[in-house]
Structure 1
Protein backbone atom coordinates (compact mmCIF):
# COMPACT_ATOMS: atom_id res chain seq x y z
CA UNK A 1 0.00 0.00 0.00
CA UNK A 2 1.06 3.59 -0.58
CA UNK A 3 0.26 5.14 2.83
CA UNK A 4 -0.46 4.31 6.44
CA UNK A 5 -4.23 3.56 6.70
CA UNK A 6 -4.55 2.29 3.10
CA UNK A 7 -4.40 -1.38 4.06
CA UNK A 8 -7.07 -0.91 6.71
CA UNK A 9 -9.29 0.97 4.26
CA UNK A 10 -8.99 -1.44 1.34
CA UNK A 11 -8.47 -4.84 2.87
CA UNK A 12 -8.59 -5.02 6.67
CA UNK A 13 -11.27 -7.70 6.82
CA UNK A 14 -9.78 -9.65 3.93
CA UNK A 15 -6.34 -9.80 5.53
CA UNK A 16 -7.90 -10.89 8.81
CA UNK A 17 -9.64 -13.71 6.95
CA UNK A 18 -6.34 -14.78 5.42
CA UNK A 19 -4.82 -14.92 8.91
CA UNK A 20 -7.83 -16.92 10.11
CA UNK A 21 -7.06 -19.43 7.35
CA UNK A 22 -3.45 -19.70 8.49
CA UNK A 23 -1.72 -17.48 5.93
CA UNK A 24 1.30 -15.34 6.71
CA UNK A 25 0.24 -11.72 6.11
CA UNK A 26 2.40 -8.62 5.76
CA UNK A 27 1.21 -5.03 5.38
CA UNK A 28 3.87 -3.26 3.32
CA UNK A 29 3.64 0.54 3.19
CA UNK A 30 5.76 2.39 0.67
CA UNK A 31 5.66 5.71 2.55
CA UNK A 32 5.73 6.92 6.13
CA UNK A 33 2.83 9.30 5.49
CA UNK A 34 4.32 12.26 7.35
CA UNK A 35 3.03 14.65 4.69
CA UNK A 36 -0.54 13.50 5.28
CA UNK A 37 -1.65 16.69 7.00
CA UNK A 38 -4.85 18.49 6.03
CA UNK A 39 -4.61 22.03 4.68
CA UNK A 40 -6.36 23.27 7.81
CA UNK A 41 -3.85 21.59 10.11
CA UNK A 42 -0.93 22.69 7.97
CA UNK A 43 -2.11 26.30 8.23
CA UNK A 44 -2.06 25.91 12.03
CA UNK A 45 1.50 24.65 11.89
CA UNK A 46 0.72 20.97 12.56
CA UNK A 47 3.51 18.67 11.47
CA UNK A 48 3.89 14.89 11.72
CA UNK A 49 7.03 12.90 12.34
CA UNK A 50 7.96 9.96 10.13
CA UNK A 51 7.21 7.59 13.01
CA UNK A 52 3.75 8.79 14.08
CA UNK A 53 1.63 7.38 11.28
CA UNK A 54 3.57 4.11 11.07
CA UNK A 55 2.96 3.67 14.79
CA UNK A 56 -0.77 4.09 14.20
CA UNK A 57 -0.67 1.27 11.66
CA UNK A 58 1.06 -1.00 14.16
CA UNK A 59 -1.67 -0.19 16.68
CA UNK A 60 -4.34 -0.94 14.08
CA UNK A 61 -2.92 -4.43 13.49
CA UNK A 62 -1.92 -5.11 17.10
CA UNK A 63 -2.61 -8.65 18.26
CA UNK A 64 -3.73 -9.85 14.80
CA UNK A 65 -0.55 -11.68 13.78
CA UNK A 66 -0.09 -9.35 10.79
CA UNK A 67 3.42 -8.03 10.18
CA UNK A 68 3.81 -4.31 9.39
CA UNK A 69 6.71 -3.07 7.25
CA UNK A 70 7.41 0.44 5.95
CA UNK A 71 9.85 1.29 3.15
CA UNK A 72 10.13 4.82 4.57
CA UNK A 73 9.65 6.76 1.33
CA UNK A 74 8.15 10.25 1.29
CA UNK A 75 4.43 10.41 0.55
CA UNK A 76 3.29 12.57 -2.33
CA UNK A 77 6.30 11.77 -4.49
CA UNK A 78 5.97 8.12 -5.56
CA UNK A 79 6.77 7.17 -9.16
CA UNK A 80 6.54 3.69 -10.70
CA UNK A 81 10.23 3.76 -11.56
CA UNK A 82 13.00 1.18 -11.22
CA UNK A 83 13.70 2.11 -7.60
CA UNK A 84 10.12 1.58 -6.41
CA UNK A 85 9.49 -1.51 -8.55
CA UNK A 86 12.71 -3.15 -7.34
CA UNK A 87 11.96 -2.36 -3.69
CA UNK A 88 8.50 -3.93 -3.94
CA UNK A 89 9.81 -6.91 -5.91
CA UNK A 90 12.46 -7.60 -3.28
CA UNK A 91 9.84 -7.63 -0.51
CA UNK A 92 7.47 -9.92 -2.43
CA UNK A 93 10.25 -12.33 -3.35
CA UNK A 94 11.70 -12.42 0.18
CA UNK A 95 8.32 -13.52 1.55
CA UNK A 96 7.46 -15.97 -1.22
CA UNK A 97 4.31 -13.93 -1.84
CA UNK A 98 1.42 -15.81 -3.45
CA UNK A 99 -1.28 -13.12 -3.41
CA UNK A 100 -0.73 -9.38 -3.42
CA UNK A 101 -3.40 -6.76 -2.76
CA UNK A 102 -2.62 -3.25 -3.97
CA UNK A 103 -4.14 -0.10 -5.44
CA UNK A 104 -5.67 0.00 -8.90
CA UNK A 105 -3.22 1.75 -11.25
CA UNK A 106 -6.08 2.87 -13.49
CA UNK A 107 -8.62 4.31 -11.04
CA UNK A 108 -10.01 7.72 -11.91
CA UNK A 109 -9.66 10.59 -9.41
CA UNK A 110 -7.38 8.58 -7.12
CA UNK A 111 -4.30 9.81 -5.25
CA UNK A 112 -1.17 9.94 -7.40
CA UNK A 113 0.73 7.77 -4.89
CA UNK A 114 -1.96 5.09 -5.14
CA UNK A 115 -1.70 5.01 -8.93
CA UNK A 116 2.09 4.87 -8.86
CA UNK A 117 2.31 2.17 -6.20
CA UNK A 118 -0.36 0.07 -7.92
CA UNK A 119 1.50 0.20 -11.22
CA UNK A 120 4.84 -0.61 -9.55
CA UNK A 121 3.40 -3.53 -7.60
CA UNK A 122 1.64 -5.07 -10.60
CA UNK A 123 4.89 -4.79 -12.52
CA UNK A 124 6.96 -6.29 -9.72
CA UNK A 125 4.56 -9.19 -9.16
CA UNK A 126 5.02 -10.47 -12.72
CA UNK A 127 8.64 -11.30 -11.88
CA UNK A 128 7.95 -13.12 -8.60
CA UNK A 129 7.34 -16.78 -9.52
CA UNK A 130 5.32 -17.57 -6.40
CA UNK A 131 2.88 -14.67 -6.94
CA UNK A 132 -0.12 -16.06 -8.83
CA UNK A 133 -2.83 -13.53 -7.90
CA UNK A 134 -2.92 -9.74 -7.99
CA UNK A 135 -5.95 -7.95 -6.55
CA UNK A 136 -6.80 -4.27 -6.80
CA UNK A 137 -8.68 -2.94 -3.77
CA UNK A 138 -11.64 -0.61 -4.08
CA UNK A 139 -10.46 3.05 -4.08
CA UNK A 140 -12.04 5.33 -1.51
CA UNK A 141 -12.03 8.14 -4.06
CA UNK A 142 -15.55 8.76 -5.42
CA UNK A 143 -16.32 8.16 -9.10
CA UNK A 144 -13.19 6.07 -9.55
CA UNK A 145 -14.55 3.84 -12.29
CA UNK A 146 -13.86 0.78 -10.14
CA UNK A 147 -15.66 -2.38 -11.29
CA UNK A 148 -15.45 -5.15 -8.68
CA UNK A 149 -15.22 -8.77 -9.76
CA UNK A 150 -14.60 -10.38 -6.36
CA UNK A 151 -16.20 -9.88 -2.96
CA UNK A 152 -14.79 -11.07 0.35
CA UNK A 153 -17.25 -11.44 3.21
CA UNK A 154 -15.86 -9.45 6.16
CA UNK A 155 -18.95 -9.43 8.35
CA UNK A 156 -17.12 -11.03 11.26
CA UNK A 157 -14.37 -8.39 11.10
CA UNK A 158 -16.31 -5.21 10.33
CA UNK A 159 -16.41 -3.99 13.94
CA UNK A 160 -12.67 -4.56 14.24
CA UNK A 161 -12.13 -2.67 10.98
CA UNK A 162 -13.97 0.34 12.42
CA UNK A 163 -11.74 0.20 15.50
CA UNK A 164 -8.58 -0.19 13.40
CA UNK A 165 -9.39 2.89 11.36
CA UNK A 166 -10.03 4.84 14.55
CA UNK A 167 -6.40 4.19 15.52
CA UNK A 168 -5.37 6.78 12.94
CA UNK A 169 -5.84 9.70 15.30
CA UNK A 170 -3.56 12.00 13.31
CA UNK A 171 -6.08 11.76 10.47
CA UNK A 172 -9.10 12.74 12.56
CA UNK A 173 -11.93 14.32 10.59
CA UNK A 174 -11.28 12.53 7.31
CA UNK A 175 -14.69 11.24 6.20
CA UNK A 176 -13.37 8.07 4.58
CA UNK A 177 -11.96 6.84 7.92
CA UNK A 178 -15.20 7.29 9.83
CA UNK A 179 -17.55 4.55 10.95
CA UNK A 180 -20.59 5.66 8.86
CA UNK A 181 -18.65 5.52 5.60
CA UNK A 182 -16.89 2.27 6.52
CA UNK A 183 -20.17 0.50 7.18
CA UNK A 184 -21.88 2.03 4.15
CA UNK A 185 -19.13 0.96 1.78
CA UNK A 186 -19.06 -2.56 3.21
CA UNK A 187 -22.78 -2.85 2.49
CA UNK A 188 -22.69 -1.13 -0.91
CA UNK A 189 -20.34 -3.71 -2.41
CA UNK A 190 -22.81 -6.45 -1.58
CA UNK A 191 -25.79 -4.56 -2.98
CA UNK A 192 -24.04 -4.36 -6.34
CA UNK A 193 -23.07 -8.01 -6.70
CA UNK A 194 -24.83 -10.06 -4.00
CA UNK A 195 -28.01 -8.20 -3.06
CA UNK A 196 -29.57 -11.13 -1.22
CA UNK A 197 -26.57 -11.33 1.13
CA UNK A 198 -26.55 -7.55 1.53
CA UNK A 199 -30.22 -7.64 2.46
CA UNK A 200 -29.35 -10.24 5.09
CA UNK A 201 -26.86 -7.81 6.64
CA UNK A 202 -23.61 -9.23 5.28
CA UNK A 203 -20.62 -6.91 4.73
CA UNK A 204 -17.91 -7.09 2.08
CA UNK A 205 -14.67 -5.76 0.69
CA UNK A 206 -14.50 -5.52 -3.09
CA UNK A 207 -11.64 -6.20 -5.50
CA UNK A 208 -10.74 -6.36 -9.16
CA UNK A 209 -8.56 -9.25 -10.32
CA UNK A 210 -6.71 -8.19 -13.49
CA UNK A 211 -4.21 -11.05 -13.31
CA UNK A 212 -6.54 -13.63 -11.87
CA UNK A 213 -4.98 -17.07 -12.22
CA UNK A 214 -5.20 -20.18 -10.07
CA UNK A 215 -7.95 -18.54 -8.04
CA UNK A 216 -8.99 -21.90 -6.63
CA UNK A 217 -5.75 -21.84 -4.60
CA UNK A 218 -6.98 -18.80 -2.65
CA UNK A 219 -9.77 -20.01 -0.34
CA UNK A 220 -10.36 -16.62 1.31
CA UNK A 221 -11.80 -15.19 -1.89
CA UNK A 222 -15.32 -15.53 -3.13
CA UNK A 223 -16.53 -14.99 -6.69
CA UNK A 224 -20.02 -13.47 -6.91
Structure 2
Protein backbone atom coordinates (compact mmCIF):
# COMPACT_ATOMS: atom_id res chain seq x y z
CA UNK A 1 0.00 0.00 0.00
CA UNK A 2 1.45 3.35 -1.03
CA UNK A 3 1.82 6.15 1.46
CA UNK A 4 -0.48 9.14 1.35
CA UNK A 5 0.08 12.89 1.34
CA UNK A 6 -2.74 15.30 2.19
CA UNK A 7 -2.49 18.96 1.21
CA UNK A 8 -5.28 20.73 3.06
CA UNK A 9 -5.57 24.42 2.24
CA UNK A 10 -8.31 27.02 2.48
CA UNK A 11 -9.49 27.50 -1.11
CA UNK A 12 -9.43 25.74 -4.48
CA UNK A 13 -6.18 26.70 -6.28
CA UNK A 14 -4.20 27.33 -3.05
CA UNK A 15 -2.48 23.95 -3.27
CA UNK A 16 -1.75 24.41 -6.97
CA UNK A 17 -0.03 27.72 -6.21
CA UNK A 18 1.83 26.75 -3.04
CA UNK A 19 2.74 23.06 -3.05
CA UNK A 20 1.58 21.19 -6.18
CA UNK A 21 5.13 20.67 -7.41
CA UNK A 22 5.99 18.75 -4.27
CA UNK A 23 2.80 16.70 -4.57
CA UNK A 24 3.66 15.85 -8.18
CA UNK A 25 7.15 14.70 -7.22
CA UNK A 26 5.84 12.48 -4.41
CA UNK A 27 3.44 10.91 -6.89
CA UNK A 28 5.90 10.50 -9.76
CA UNK A 29 9.03 9.54 -7.86
CA UNK A 30 7.61 7.51 -4.96
CA UNK A 31 4.09 6.54 -6.09
CA UNK A 32 2.47 8.22 -3.12
CA UNK A 33 -1.29 8.67 -3.12
CA UNK A 34 -2.13 12.38 -3.38
CA UNK A 35 -5.12 14.07 -1.77
CA UNK A 36 -5.91 17.77 -2.11
CA UNK A 37 -8.52 19.20 0.25
CA UNK A 38 -9.97 22.66 0.75
CA UNK A 39 -11.88 24.09 3.67
CA UNK A 40 -14.19 25.97 1.31
CA UNK A 41 -15.43 25.56 -2.24
CA UNK A 42 -14.42 29.14 -3.02
CA UNK A 43 -17.93 30.59 -2.99
CA UNK A 44 -16.68 34.21 -2.85
CA UNK A 45 -14.14 33.83 -5.65
CA UNK A 46 -16.12 35.55 -8.38
CA UNK A 47 -17.71 38.79 -9.50
CA UNK A 48 -19.94 36.97 -12.00
CA UNK A 49 -21.86 34.14 -10.31
CA UNK A 50 -23.92 33.58 -7.14
CA UNK A 51 -22.21 31.57 -4.36
CA UNK A 52 -23.78 28.20 -5.15
CA UNK A 53 -22.85 28.39 -8.82
CA UNK A 54 -19.22 29.40 -8.36
CA UNK A 55 -18.82 26.80 -5.60
CA UNK A 56 -20.03 24.11 -8.01
CA UNK A 57 -17.63 25.36 -10.69
CA UNK A 58 -14.67 25.51 -8.33
CA UNK A 59 -15.25 22.06 -6.84
CA UNK A 60 -15.20 20.71 -10.41
CA UNK A 61 -12.00 22.62 -11.16
CA UNK A 62 -10.38 21.27 -7.99
CA UNK A 63 -11.27 17.71 -8.97
CA UNK A 64 -9.95 18.25 -12.50
CA UNK A 65 -6.65 19.64 -11.22
CA UNK A 66 -6.12 16.73 -8.83
CA UNK A 67 -7.03 14.22 -11.54
CA UNK A 68 -4.15 15.48 -13.69
CA UNK A 69 -1.75 13.77 -11.28
CA UNK A 70 -3.98 10.85 -10.32
CA UNK A 71 -5.01 12.58 -7.11
CA UNK A 72 -8.33 13.06 -5.35
CA UNK A 73 -10.02 16.31 -4.32
CA UNK A 74 -12.04 16.83 -1.14
CA UNK A 75 -13.99 19.82 0.20
CA UNK A 76 -14.89 20.22 3.88
CA UNK A 77 -17.79 22.57 3.22
CA UNK A 78 -16.94 25.79 5.06
CA UNK A 79 -17.74 29.17 3.45
CA UNK A 80 -15.27 31.75 2.16
CA UNK A 81 -14.35 34.40 4.75
CA UNK A 82 -16.04 32.23 7.39
CA UNK A 83 -13.36 29.63 8.10
CA UNK A 84 -13.21 29.65 11.88
CA UNK A 85 -11.43 27.42 14.37
CA UNK A 86 -14.24 25.15 15.57
CA UNK A 87 -14.80 21.67 16.91
CA UNK A 88 -16.81 20.86 13.78
CA UNK A 89 -14.03 21.69 11.31
CA UNK A 90 -11.34 20.06 13.45
CA UNK A 91 -13.42 16.88 13.60
CA UNK A 92 -14.06 16.91 9.83
CA UNK A 93 -10.33 17.38 9.23
CA UNK A 94 -9.43 14.53 11.57
CA UNK A 95 -11.92 12.22 9.87
CA UNK A 96 -10.43 13.10 6.46
CA UNK A 97 -6.86 12.52 7.65
CA UNK A 98 -7.86 9.09 8.94
CA UNK A 99 -9.84 8.25 5.81
CA UNK A 100 -6.84 8.91 3.54
CA UNK A 101 -4.29 7.58 6.10
CA UNK A 102 -2.09 10.66 5.73
CA UNK A 103 1.61 10.21 6.46
CA UNK A 104 2.47 13.79 5.43
CA UNK A 105 0.19 16.83 5.77
CA UNK A 106 0.81 20.18 4.07
CA UNK A 107 -1.08 23.33 5.04
CA UNK A 108 -0.91 27.12 5.18
CA UNK A 109 1.60 29.16 7.14
CA UNK A 110 0.27 30.13 10.59
CA UNK A 111 0.92 33.74 9.51
CA UNK A 112 -0.53 34.70 6.14
CA UNK A 113 -2.40 37.48 4.35
CA UNK A 114 -5.81 35.79 4.44
CA UNK A 115 -7.81 35.04 7.62
CA UNK A 116 -9.09 31.79 6.05
CA UNK A 117 -5.48 30.67 5.54
CA UNK A 118 -4.54 31.33 9.15
CA UNK A 119 -7.66 29.61 10.52
CA UNK A 120 -7.02 26.61 8.28
CA UNK A 121 -3.46 26.35 9.55
CA UNK A 122 -4.61 26.22 13.16
CA UNK A 123 -7.37 23.71 12.41
CA UNK A 124 -4.95 21.41 10.58
CA UNK A 125 -2.35 21.66 13.34
CA UNK A 126 -4.93 20.60 15.93
CA UNK A 127 -6.20 17.81 13.70
CA UNK A 128 -2.73 16.29 13.20
CA UNK A 129 -2.32 16.12 16.98
CA UNK A 130 -5.81 14.71 17.58
CA UNK A 131 -5.91 12.17 14.75
CA UNK A 132 -4.02 9.40 16.66
CA UNK A 133 -5.96 9.87 19.95
CA UNK A 134 -8.53 7.04 20.29
CA UNK A 135 -10.74 8.91 22.74
CA UNK A 136 -10.90 12.11 20.66
CA UNK A 137 -13.82 10.75 18.60
CA UNK A 138 -14.81 7.91 20.91
CA UNK A 139 -17.80 6.19 19.34
CA UNK A 140 -17.74 8.47 16.28
CA UNK A 141 -14.74 7.20 14.32
CA UNK A 142 -15.55 6.46 10.68
CA UNK A 143 -12.05 5.09 10.06
CA UNK A 144 -9.54 4.02 12.71
CA UNK A 145 -7.34 6.71 14.30
CA UNK A 146 -3.92 7.23 12.75
CA UNK A 147 -1.08 5.19 14.19
CA UNK A 148 0.95 8.32 14.98
CA UNK A 149 1.05 12.06 14.37
CA UNK A 150 1.82 12.69 10.69
CA UNK A 151 4.65 14.89 9.46
CA UNK A 152 3.27 18.43 9.27
CA UNK A 153 4.64 21.13 6.96
CA UNK A 154 3.67 24.75 6.42
CA UNK A 155 3.77 26.16 2.89
CA UNK A 156 5.04 29.63 2.10
CA UNK A 157 2.68 32.44 2.99
CA UNK A 158 1.57 34.37 -0.06
CA UNK A 159 4.40 36.74 -1.10
CA UNK A 160 6.52 35.25 1.69
CA UNK A 161 5.51 37.77 4.36
CA UNK A 162 3.27 38.19 7.38
CA UNK A 163 0.48 40.78 7.71
CA UNK A 164 3.00 43.43 8.79
CA UNK A 165 5.17 42.84 5.73
CA UNK A 166 7.94 41.05 7.60
CA UNK A 167 9.59 38.23 5.63
CA UNK A 168 8.90 34.63 6.59
CA UNK A 169 11.85 32.55 5.44
CA UNK A 170 11.37 28.86 4.58
CA UNK A 171 13.21 26.27 6.60
CA UNK A 172 14.04 24.46 3.36
CA UNK A 173 13.27 24.44 -0.35
CA UNK A 174 12.12 21.58 -2.61
CA UNK A 175 13.08 21.86 -6.28
CA UNK A 176 10.11 21.72 -8.67
CA UNK A 177 11.83 22.69 -11.94
CA UNK A 178 11.12 19.47 -13.83
CA UNK A 179 7.44 19.43 -12.85
CA UNK A 180 6.69 23.12 -13.41
CA UNK A 181 4.80 22.49 -16.65
CA UNK A 182 2.46 20.03 -14.94
CA UNK A 183 2.08 22.30 -11.92
CA UNK A 184 1.06 25.08 -14.33
CA UNK A 185 -1.49 22.78 -15.97
CA UNK A 186 -2.99 22.05 -12.56
CA UNK A 187 -3.33 25.75 -11.82
CA UNK A 188 -4.78 26.40 -15.27
CA UNK A 189 -7.59 23.96 -14.42
CA UNK A 190 -8.89 26.73 -12.11
CA UNK A 191 -9.98 28.81 -15.10
CA UNK A 192 -12.76 30.61 -13.21
CA UNK A 193 -10.20 32.47 -11.15
CA UNK A 194 -8.62 34.52 -13.93
CA UNK A 195 -11.33 37.20 -14.11
CA UNK A 196 -11.72 37.27 -10.34
CA UNK A 197 -8.02 37.78 -9.71
CA UNK A 198 -7.87 40.55 -12.28
CA UNK A 199 -10.76 42.36 -10.55
CA UNK A 200 -9.89 41.80 -6.88
CA UNK A 201 -6.11 41.20 -6.78
CA UNK A 202 -4.97 43.06 -9.89
CA UNK A 203 -3.27 39.89 -11.14
CA UNK A 204 -3.75 39.40 -14.86
CA UNK A 205 -1.98 36.09 -15.27
CA UNK A 206 -2.04 33.96 -12.15
CA UNK A 207 0.09 31.26 -13.77
CA UNK A 208 2.87 33.73 -14.54
CA UNK A 209 2.60 35.08 -10.99
CA UNK A 210 2.93 31.56 -9.59
CA UNK A 211 5.97 30.83 -11.75
CA UNK A 212 7.59 34.16 -10.85
CA UNK A 213 7.24 33.35 -7.15
CA UNK A 214 8.60 29.82 -7.63
CA UNK A 215 11.55 31.29 -9.54
CA UNK A 216 12.19 33.82 -6.78
CA UNK A 217 12.20 31.08 -4.18
CA UNK A 218 14.42 28.89 -6.32
CA UNK A 219 16.94 31.70 -6.75
CA UNK A 220 17.60 31.61 -3.00
CA UNK A 221 19.12 28.15 -3.28
CA UNK A 222 20.26 27.92 -6.94
CA UNK A 223 17.17 26.10 -8.25
CA UNK A 224 15.28 27.33 -11.29
CA UNK A 225 11.96 26.77 -9.50
CA UNK A 226 11.31 25.82 -5.88
CA UNK A 227 8.65 25.61 -3.20
CA UNK A 228 9.44 26.65 0.35
CA UNK A 229 8.32 24.90 3.53
CA UNK A 230 8.72 24.97 7.28
CA UNK A 231 8.32 21.79 9.32
CA UNK A 232 6.31 21.67 12.54
CA UNK A 233 8.83 20.38 15.08
CA UNK A 234 6.99 20.85 18.35
CA UNK A 235 6.94 18.22 21.08
CA UNK A 236 5.60 14.80 19.98
CA UNK A 237 5.72 15.58 16.25
CA UNK A 238 8.09 13.63 13.95
CA UNK A 239 11.54 15.21 14.02
CA UNK A 240 13.02 13.84 10.79
CA UNK A 241 12.44 15.84 7.61
CA UNK A 242 10.69 13.21 5.52
CA UNK A 243 10.09 15.50 2.54
CA UNK A 244 13.79 16.28 2.33
CA UNK A 245 14.70 12.62 2.68
CA UNK A 246 12.40 11.67 -0.18
CA UNK A 247 12.86 14.61 -2.56
CA UNK A 248 16.11 16.30 -1.57
CA UNK A 249 16.20 19.92 -0.42
CA UNK A 250 18.37 22.93 0.19
CA UNK A 251 18.56 25.34 3.08
CA UNK A 252 20.22 28.76 3.30
Query: What is the TM-score with the length of structure 1 in the denominator?
Result: 0.85
Residue 223 of structure 1: how far off its partner (Å): 4.1
Q: 1:61 to 1:216 in 2, by over 3 A?
A: closer
Q: 1:84 to 1:54 in 2, by over 3 A?
A: same
Alignment of 1:121-200 (within 5 A): 121-129=124-132, 130-141=148-159, 143-144=161-162, 145-173=167-195, 174=197, 175=203, 178-192=206-220, 194=221, 197-198=222-223
Q: How far apart, CA to CA, are the structure 2 residues paired with 1:221 and 1:97?
A: 20
What do residues 6-50 of structure 1 show as CA deviations (whole Å, max 9, x unaligned)? 11011111001111111111111111111112xxx2xxx533512
Residue in 2 that maps onto 1:11: 19
Q: How far apart, CA to CA, are the structure 1 residues paired with 2:20 and 2:242?
A: 21
Q: How far apart, CA to CA, are the structure 2 residues paired with 1:120 and 1:176?
A: 32
- Within the candidate set 240, 243, 246, 1:214 is matched to 240
Runs of 5+ unmatched residues, structure 2: 1-8, 133-147, 198-202
Residue 150 of structure 1: how far off its partner (Å): 1.6
Q: 1:82 to 1:3 in 2, by over 3 A?
A: same
Query: What is the TM-score with the length of structure 2 in the denominator?
Result: 0.76
- Runs of 4+ that moved beyond 6 A: none
Residue in 2 that maps onto 1:24: 33
RMSD after superposition: 2.0
DSSP-derived class of the 2:77 partner: strand
Runs of 5+ unmatched residues, structure 1: none
DSSP-derived class of the 1:79 partner: coil
Residue 177 of structure 1: how far off its partner (Å): 5.9
Q: 1:180 to 1:81 in 2, by over 3 A?
A: same
Residue 115 of structure 1: how far off its partner (Å): 0.4
DSSP-derived class of the 1:101 partner: strand
Residue 4 of structure 1: how far off its partner (Å): 0.6
Residue 205 of structure 1: how far off its partner (Å): 0.7
Q: 1:214 to 1:143 in 2, by over 3 A?
A: closer
Residue 94 of structure 1: how far off its partner (Å): 2.2
